[in-house]
Amino acid sequence: MRRIFLIRHGHPDFPLDSKICLGRTNLPLGPLGRMQACLLARELQFPELSSVISSPLLRCRQTAEVFGRPFATENGFVEQNMGSWDGLDFETIKKRFPALYQERGQNPLLVPPGAETLAEVQQRVLPALRRCVDAGPGDLAVIAHASVIQAILSSVMGVPLAESRQFRLPYGAYAVLLWDGEFQVETLKKLPHSDMTPEQADALLSAAAPGERVEAHSRAVAEKAKEIADELPLPLDRNALICAALLHDVARTQRNHASVGAAWVKALGYEKEAEFIRQHHDLETDALDEAAVLYLSDKCIQEDKPVSIEERFESSAVRCVTVEAKAAHAKRFETAKALQGRINTLCGRPVIL
């Protein structure tokens, strides 16, 4: 019996909390989407996976590329054309089309002006799926869009299209069909979630592509966090600490990068590591825990080289021009020095210079 993996592409290149009507608008993957694609590829590297088929839109093709094997595109798997709403944020849509927006919330079969209906989507998607299945043996990965997967699952489950929203997958999730002359559902909704390891965290860092300097800094911070954890006589979760250290600056190019990076890692399903990342810029308690070790490790590394805490803060002080920024900088320095003293005392030697 063959398996068909119906995979929704990773998160496109817009903010995590954005609400955009995204149909044929051809956005690439964002950093979170690339990390989601990385997790998918790591989970679905089965010998039986003989073919990878993608929608022609860029966000799907970039998800397919992470599988590291040749793939084909199938025009029948393109996302629903959303007509005059395509690419607009929902606040704009509510202002321009208030009545239709409200009615569509109750009846998904209603579509914006110039858009494809769900029935039209299903009419092109189902033959495309059969073409792919008939093209050769082995398991098949189909990387497509929300409406495409909903249309397939509605047909297989015998559910009216008006109720197809129940089959909407999150970004980077997948469903699994079985094929033995006819389709049946094996898995309706799954997010890839393997155990986080330093090797996987490093792969996610590379997939997010924050830049060579950020990657080098993150790896140096992870080494420092491991060094401190090895010395401390405390029951720390070393694995989670090192993984969080590798990913602590994954959103370094974003505003409020600690919060954004934590939100990305949490969206991948790794809440413990996300919490350490969230606090790596500003600690919220005086507990000597994994978050504190990550905080201090980050303050012991300049670029990718070890430095004293004084050197690190002297270098960053020039960026603080307002009274508020200077006060926050002084508080972080005070926190780092206090942690340095506590850790050195516990270890019985100057682990942190």
CATH no. for residue 221? 1.10.3210
Same domain membership, residue 298 and residue 162: no
Number of Cβ within 10 Å of residue 127's Cβ equals: 11
- The answer to the question of residue 87 being in a domain is yes
176 lies in the same domain as 202: no
Task: Confirm whether 14 is domain-assigned.
Answer: yes
- Contact criterion met (CB below 8 Å) for 191 and 172: yes
Residue 134 CA, chain-centre distance (Å), reads 33
- Within this chain, do residues 144 and 247 fall inside the same structural domain, yes or no? no
pLDDT value at 6 more than 90: yes
Percent of the chain topping pLDDT 70: 100
The two structure tokens encoding residue 64: 């397919």
Q: Do 23 and 171 sit in the same domain of this protein?
A: yes
Are residue 184 and residue 204 in the same domain, yes or no?
A: no
Q: Are residues 100 and 227 in the same domain?
A: no
Q: Is the pLDDT assigned to residue 184 strictly greater than 80?
A: yes
Residue 163 included in any domain: yes
Among 209-213, 249-253, 347-351, the minimum mean pLDDT is found in 347-351
- CATH at residue 154: 3.40.50.1240
Residue 136: band (very low, low, confident or very high) from pLDDT cuts 50, 70, 90: confident
Which residue range forms the structural domain that includes residue 148? 2-190
**Which of 136, 156, 190 represents a domain boundary (last residue)?**
190
Picking from 159, 190, 221, the residue at the C-terminal end of a domain is: 190
Residue 314 has pLDDT above 90, yes or no: no
Answer left, alpha or beta for residue 105, where phi above 0 means left and psi between -120 and 50 means alpha.
alpha
Q: Note if the pTM is more than 0.85.
A: yes
Amino acid sitting at position 136 = G
204 with 141, same domain?
Answer: no
Query: 246 lies in a domain?
Result: yes
Shared domain for 169 and 314, answered yes or no, is no
Is residue 113 in a domain? yes
* pLDDT, tens only, 219-245: 999 999 999 999 999 999 999 999 999
- 203 and 301 belong to one structural domain: yes
* Residue 352 covered by a domain: no
Contact between 115 and 93 (Cβ < 8 Å): no
Mark which of 190, 213, 240 sits at the end of a domain: 190
Are residues 316 and 245 located together in one domain of the fold?
Answer: yes
Give the chain's domain count.
2
Residue 67 lies in a domain: yes
Look at residue 349 in the predicted model and tell me its pLDDT: 84
Residues 242 and 105 in one domain: no
Query: pLDDT at residue 352 above 90?
Result: no
Average pLDDT, the chain: 93
Q: Is 353 part of a structural domain of the chain?
A: no
Is the Cα torsion angle 120, 122, 128, 131 positive or negative in sign? negative
One domain, residues 173 and 35: yes
